Amino acid sequence: MTNTKKINCPSCNKQILWNEQNKSRPFCSERCKLIDFGEWASDKNIIKGESLYPIKDNSEDKLQ
């Protein structure tokens, strides 16, 4: 008897098995994996907190 966990895909909520055959874990497919990546890349998903790399405002330097 195997103790394979069932989880929900974070993108589409489809129930999947957590096993080595699923190369897209924790997602159900490569498509859902890419959708999630796109959401992070476009800042739709963020982790709140202070930025490690603050954006320097050079607008005053350009006026001089």
Residue type, 3: N
Average pLDDT over residues 35-56: 88
Q: Where are the beta strands (DSSP E) in 1-64?
A: 5-8, 15-18
- Please give the CATH superfamily to which domain 1-43 belongs: Erythroid Transcription Factor GATA-1, subunit A (3.30.50.10)
Domain spans, the chain: 1-43
pLDDT tens per residue, range 23-44: 999 999 999 999 999 999 998 9
